[in-house]
Structure 1
């Protein structure tokens, strides 16, 4: 069964069709790549998948459930989480508290319980602390749990953003240029991290990336986007060797 089925997805801004008849099918547990030149519409698609934008046409089905046009918070609760090309951590909060932000979806307590620090508040906070530390250990960040997020090196901030996304308990994880700004050693480590997340969290991952070494190293299938339309889809090696892809994207 597919985790994600997108058909005939389209959106226009001021008469300009940013995404036109986009389609993609991502299997459960798959590591799938979405690539294309700058301005091809990749981030717009992520914004459609997460409810930031509402499509003019088409459907988005997550694990058999239609989430087309739903609010971002409802799509997140349905099982979609994302990271961003430009890291969006709460940099004045601790590493631990950044992860706990993601946990609040599944560990609610009332406003009154929080204000009055009632027993349920303390019970839920302890539970979230424990779960947050577990997630941070996955990324070897638990030793920095009381640091401000802004004090982490760039590569570790990237990992923290993934940990926070995982805290929401997603079925589908969208990674928007996770290797952006990383050196080769950090990128290699990131590849191992993404594989680990997929294999150990029963996760389906769709990623946007310009680093072809990362794409060819971890993605099983690719969709290439050009001017808002699907140019090519299929197994990674075949797509990257397609003459139209080379012409449009790799510039060769």
Structure 2
């Protein structure tokens, strides 16, 4: 059963079709890739899926629920979380508090409770601390829980961003160029992390990536975009060997 169904998605900026009749179907538990040249419309699609942009036309269904045009907050609550090409952590907050920021989507208390520190406040905080530490341990970040996020090495900042996204308890995780800026060893470790997340969190993952080693190594299916259009979709090995894809994207 498809977790994400997108049909006839369109958006224009100043008369230019940034995304034109985009469609994709992603099954539950799938690790899916979205690739294409710079300016092909990949990040625009992520922004449409997460409510940053509202489409001119088209339907976005998540797990049977129409989320087209909803706010970013409502879409996150419905089950989509994302990371960014340029890491967006709360750099002056601790590693632990970054993850707890994601947990606030589900474990909440009122402003009054937070100010007065009622028993409910301490109960919720204790629960969030325990949940956050469990997530940090999964990513081998529990020993750095109390340090500032800005003091983590680059590769660990990537892991923390994924951990924070998972704290919102999504059904679909969007990874925007997760390997950007990583060296080969960090990329290998990242591939293992992404596989682990999919397999152990019952997660469906859609990623944008330019690193073809990562794409071919972990993605089961791909969509290739070119100038906002779907150029090719299908099994990863078939897509990457398609002459049109090679001509448009791989430059060979």
Partner of 1:212: 212
Number of the residue aligned with 2:147: 147
Give runs of aligned pairs for residues 52-67 of structure 1, distance below 5 A: 52-67=52-67
- Residue 45 of structure 2 aligns with which residue? 45
Residues 106-185 of structure 1: matches in 2 within 5 Å?
A: 106-185=106-185
Which residue of structure 2 aligns with residue 6 of structure 1?
Answer: 6
- Scaled by the length of structure 1, what TM-score is found? 1.00
**Secondary structure at 2:223 match in 1:** strand
Alignment of 1:28-39 (within 5 A): 28-39=28-39
Which whole-Å deviations, capped at 9, do the CAs of 1:9-46 have from their partners, x for residues lacking one?
00001111100000000000000000000000000000
Mapped partners of 1:247, 1:79: distance in 2 = 36
Structure-1 separation of matches of 2:138 and 2:191: 14
Query: Deviation per CA, 1:179-208, whole angstroms, max 9, x where unpaired?
Result: 000000000000000000000000000000
1:244: how far off?
A: 0.3
1:134: Cα distance to partner? 0.2
1:170 positional shift: 0.2
Structure 1 residue 166: deviation in Å?
0.0
Structure 1: stretches of 5+ with no match in the other structure: none
Unaligned 5+ residue runs, structure 2? Answer: none
The alpha-carbon deviation at position 145 of structure 1 amounts to: 0.2
Aligned mates of 2:220, 2:73 — CA distance in 1? 29
Once the two structures are superposed, the pairs formed by residues 226-245 of structure 1 within 5 Å of their partners are: 226-245=226-245
**C-alpha separation between the residues in 1 aligned to 2:142 and 2:15?**
48
How many residue pairs get aligned? The number is 252
Q: Secondary structure at the match of 1:9?
A: strand
How many Å apart are 1:149 and its aligned residue?
0.1
Runs of 4+ with deviation above 4 angstroms? none
SS at match of 1:207: strand
Give 1:72 deviation, angstroms.
Answer: 0.4
SS at match of 1:88: coil
Query: Normalising to structure 2: TM-score of the pair?
Result: 1.00
> Counterpart of 2:26?
26
Partner secondary structure for residue 19 of structure 2: strand
Aligned to 1:105, the other structure's residue is in SS state coil
2:194 & 2:84 partners in 1: Cα distance? 15
| In structure 2, C-alpha distance between the alignment counterparts of 1:3 and 1:86, rounded to whole Å | 27
1:17 and 1:225 map into 2 onto residues whose CA distance is: 13
How far apart are 1:66 and its partner, in Å?
Answer: 0.5
Counterpart for residue 97 of structure 2 = 97
RMSD (Å), alpha carbons: 0.3
Q: Offset at 1:79?
A: 0.3
Distance 2:153 2:105 in 1: 28
